[in-house]
Structure formats: structure tokens, C-alpha cells
Amino acid sequence: MFTGIIEELGKISSLEKHAKGAKIKISAKIVNEDANEGDSIAVNGVCLTALDITSNSFVADVSQETLDRSTIGNLKIGFSVNLERAVTPSTRLGGHIVQGHVDATGEFLGAVQEGDFWTVKIGYPKELGQYLVYKGSISAEGISLTIAKLTDGYFEIAVIPKTWELTNLSSLNKGDAVNLEADVIAKYVERILLYGKKSENSSEITMEKIKKLGFA
């Protein structure tokens, strides 16, 4: 589990694709300081297992499922990636619960600077819309962010200078794909509401059902 608070910008030093996945090597110094073989590290919001750890790099195997669902397969040597170690019992949960399991990819639609801050616009696929709420949490490229504006096709986030400096948001170009993970709490609520329902009509989420279950 992660919090979406990025610790370091790493760089892809090698990426080897093969028949059933890929192997990537990432240059880093902070996230591998106390990492052990087999520890989880989030790379652009994707939970990967760290292997061959050195003082300045680690390697990870990537399954075909991860390549198909995330932007990992689009990375190239020299690309910057957001890195975060898994939480420990003493970690402050500064963001929100991030599993590192990407739900879908969205599209970077642009960023506008307003003083020292940035407003970033990201398009999202229709199937993700039911999990997004105004002022709710979303993980984009592994970054815990708060939705400041929400429409049927895109959301906006207000980015503080520190996040802009510390993450790869500043290196994205219009049209780039971004990894998106919805808040897991929203997915559990949906599952509770839909579980055991047989008919199409009974599977609809209504405010009455939400209230009966104590969520409103």
C-alpha cells in the first residue's frame, strides 16, 4: 500500500521487452536506501517488486497485464518516473490509500500556470467516471491528488509548486497517457451495493440504497 506522496524522481536506465512482459532498470537513490529484495516500490503509480537493488538503482519485472493496463510499456530510456516506497506502520498517511493497481490510463490535456501554482487537466475514460467525485481523491501517475473540477470527460487538479517540482507532471506533454487509480473506498462501496443483485434494475446505485447502508 502507498500514500501517493512521491519521494523521488527516478530515471529509466534500461527497458527490455520480451514475449511475456518486460524488465526495467531504474536509477534512484532514496527509495532504495533501505529497500530489500522483494520490496514493493510504486513506479508512476504501478506497484512493482524491487530486485537487484544497488545504492543507485533497482530492477523490476513487469507482467504483460501491467504493460497492457498502464503506461509502463511506453517508457523509454531517460524518462523520469515518480517513485514511492510502500508504507510502514509508522508512516504518516499524507495522501490517501493507493494500492498501486492501475485502473485505466487517462490523457494529459494540459497545464496552466497561475502564480506559483498549476492547474492540470486530465481526461479520463467513461468507465472510471462513477468513482470520481468533486473534492475526492484520485491517483495520477502515482500522485495523490484532489479533484478541483469534474466534468463528464475530464477533471482538473490544483498542483502546488513542490508537487510540480518533485514529480513528472512538469515533463508531460499534451496527449501523453497517464496512469489513473480510483479511490479504493469508492470501489468497495460499489461492490457492496451491487453484490448479490440479480436483475438489471436492482443493480442501479440509488441514494436510497446508499442511505440504508449507512454511507449517507
> What pLDDT is recorded for position 214?
65
CA atoms within 13 A on the CB side of 95: 25
Between the alpha carbon of residue 201 and those of residues 131, 158, 204, 205, 213, the distances in Å are 20, 38, 6, 9, 18
Q: Can you say how many angstroms the Cα of residue 50 is from the centroid of all Cα atoms in its chain?
A: 18
> What pLDDT is recorded for position 140?
97
> What pLDDT is recorded for position 181?
97
> What pLDDT is recorded for position 199?
46
> What pLDDT is recorded for position 93?
77
Domains of the chain plus CATH, in order, are 8-85 (2.40.30.20), 104-187 (2.40.30.20)
Q: DSSP strand E in 103-142: where?
A: 104-114, 117-123, 137-140
Compute the chain's Rg from CA coordinates.
18
> What pLDDT is recorded for position 42?
97
Indicate the pTM of the whole model.
Answer: 0.84
- What is the mean pLDDT of each successive set of 10 residues along the chain, which is 216 residues long? 95 92 96 93 97 96 93 94 91 85 96 94 96 96 96 96 94 97 90 68 62 64
> What pLDDT is recorded for position 59?
97
Which helix (H) or strand (E) segment holds residue 210: the answer is: helix 207-212
Q: Which three cell numbers mark 70?
A: 498502464
| Residues comprising the chain, all counted | 216
